[in-house]
Chains A and B, each alone.
Chain A
């Protein structure tokens, strides 16, 4: 399968990438890992007139610890997250999610930021980012702006980037207190997208009560969705099985899954409820294990 013809360049600096995007205008697209864009182009679901390949740009593959957050550059591949000790010690949900994204070969190429930009409601990273309350750093020739993930994800395959902007990095806040998280994913087989995925994150206050909670869902709405009502159930409360069950039910109510080859609407809603509860249990155990 071949996409329609397009023009291509592979700049070696961010400045050149931004200048090329500005010059080529509407028809230009960033090519990162290409693990979503190239299949879409081959199926002719996307037909950019110009691809700006960022793979040759130096210095975009960083995972760094900066002022309370971990910054993940635009060329960090899924597999870099699997291997990252910094992520392993700071964000349990990311560590859970990474090895279940696609398959090992796709993970060598696909990028975290590309997945975030893609806004596929079946993609896993945006749920993890919602639960962690991450921020996206958008850069254009005019400068940089920081977009909270809730505002970045607009809808089905739609982000809030302006023309000429790229995702330069994503910033994942570190826990401020005792924290934990999980990503629980149901998939039919390796390489398939989630039937249902739930990202959870908890932080405990000194009194042992829940100070912060993050819950977001994959593949059950037209975009990755924060289960805000479920989070509200938790904040300020003492963790208990009963509380987690209540949060699971609230998350299920916020999901609007569709019946398809992966399962029925009713069953997926049940999975959301159970996975939310399980994720919270894991997150709590991790938080409590910290001194």
Chain B
């Protein structure tokens, strides 16, 4: 089937089988920051913003993204500038191996869009669908709150 969509501002069109998973399609466009962790809707490594809302793309078919606008981790940077969430993850050491990081940052960016001043509880609740095996979450939470500060300062 023919699909047309926008990924990080670039229009894409492709011929896909209905059973092609969205995550695999996204990765085939070179946006390999979108990871496959569990493949069972549990870990959130495959999270992408679909029309601004976080979705687990291992649990969507590519055909379902027809007509949609997607943002992957590669699309966070704008005009050569890191997104505040990226700056904050770097400054607060919000990652170790980095495998969960794209999903964490996209989920957090969507949270900050709604609430630029989240409490620790708000952050922990919002990222509870994203699993990190390395950090113990402490620095991730700090990074998200710091990104909120950066956004509020601007």
Contacts and interface: CB of A to CB of B under 8 A. Distances in A.
Nearest to B46: A105
A109 B63 contact: no
B75 interface: no
A89 interface: no
Contacts of A45: none
Contact of B128 (A1, A55, A103): A103
A106 B39 CA distance: 14
Interface string A172-189: 000000000000000000
A38 interface: yes
Contacts of A145: none
Interface residues of B, number: 28
B19 A109 contact: no
A106 B17 CA distance: 24
Interface string B51-73: 00111100111011010000000
A51 interface: yes
A67 interface: no
Given A35-B59, A108-B55, A8 B40 contact: no
Contacts of A4: 19
Given A10-B64, A34-B60, A55-B64, A105 B42 contact: no
A34 B55 CA distance: 11
Contacts of A104: 54, 107, 125-129
Contacts of A25: none
Interface of A: 1-8, 10, 34-35, 38-39, 42, 51, 53, 55, 102-106, 108-109, 190-191
